Amino acid sequence: MLYLIDDAGAHGGAERFVKALAEHVPRERVAASVCSTRKVDPSVALELEATGVSHLGLNRGAAWQLHRLAPLVALIRREHFDVLHAHKFGSNVWGALLGRATGVPVVLAHEHNWSYVGGRGRRLIDGRLIAPLVTRFLTVSEASRARMVALERIAPEKLLVLPTAYVPSRGTSGDIRAELGIDPHAKLIVVASGLRPEKALEVLIEAHARLPPGAHLAIAGEGPCRERLERLSEALGTRTSVHLLGWREDVDGILARADAGVVCSDWEGMSLFALECMAASVPLVASAVGGTPELVRDGESALLIAPRDPRALADALARVLEDRELAGRLADAARVLVEDLRIERVAVRFADLYERLASDATRR
């Protein structure tokens, strides 16, 4: 069994999921290996190997460095994998091409966050190149599946929906309130996300500025939008109550001291941070995009709002922060829902899929 992804050590939700999946698939059923097609921190190999998972890093610094794919081809031919499971667009392309060229019986492509709005080239590659070559095309939500059928013309029977999993954070944490000098009784809103345009964090900062004074916002993550977010909070006069934490490995610990969690993206596949909020019993406010409405119900296990609406986001946050009975009810319902999405259970479902498809391929 080979997992293929650009960088198994990256901080994104898909990367964390792939690494955790390789570590948690039942060892008696699946012998897992991981290949990172891009440059990767060498410590990732040590972490994976400590759990019995081998790792190959290709260290490609650019898309044109095709010669660096040679060790991957050699690995596939040497190990005779039954299943190659590629993740995200770039690795889906190479997984489909190399998997079929080397005769791997089962080749899976996995799209974690279908966001090719306007990306005609990528849609064509998905529909005309990847889909015909792979055994199945996996995605994380019915919303993504519908887009792939309608816009990429992928045959519905080629697509499978398998939700992603809650993956506990690895880092240990102290008291985030003490770390930031926040009063123990002040309201604290938390989000963990890459600071990228589609995460719409400027909308959250604008919504936070509409809340009553005293509420703090902590954003864990890094990315190209950091300076813009800093300038916006400065312009809104909230710089002392908006805390950009950088990358953190202790998200679960931070959430343990939070009053609300937020996902305000323009699009999502299935947000790992939403799952982290649910597992931590932190009430969630989220934009109703992608797979989020399939994960939680508005008013029952979260509050859902339209994307790009700072007023609606502020109103929803105010409700959660002020009405603790509502907050507790949402958090309790969400905690029940996430139990079936813990990585240990999801990994078993993937092992079932691998065995079924491998058996079908053998019969054929």
Query: What does pLDDT average to in each consecutive run of 10 residues of the chain (364 residues)?
Result: 94 92 96 94 89 94 87 97 96 97 98 81 94 97 94 96 92 86 96 96 98 96 97 97 96 96 95 97 97 97 98 98 98 97 97 97 82
Question: Which residue pairs from 58-65 have beta carbons closer than 8 angstroms and sit at least 24 positions apart in sequence?
Answer: 63/90
- pLDDT digits over 199-219, tens only? 999 999 999 999 999 999 999
Task: Tell me what pLDDT residue 118 has.
Answer: 66
Which amino acid is located at 323 in the chain? D
Sign of CA dihedral 113, 118, 122, 125: positive
pLDDT attached to residue 170: 80
What is the residue-wise DSSP string for 212-258? Answer: PTT-EEEEEB--TTHHHHHHHHHHTT-TTTEEEEES-S-HHHHHTT-
pTM (whole model) above 0.85: yes
Complete DSSP assignment for 17-61: HHHHHHHHS-TTT---EEEEEE---HHHHHHHHHTT-EEEEEEE-
Q: Work out the number of other CB atoms within 10 angstroms of the CB of residue 342.
A: 16
Condensed to tens digits (0 to 9), the pLDDT of residues 230-249 reads 999 999 999 999 999 999 99
pLDDT digits (tens, 9 = 90+) for 288-317: 999 999 999 999 999 999 999 999 999 999
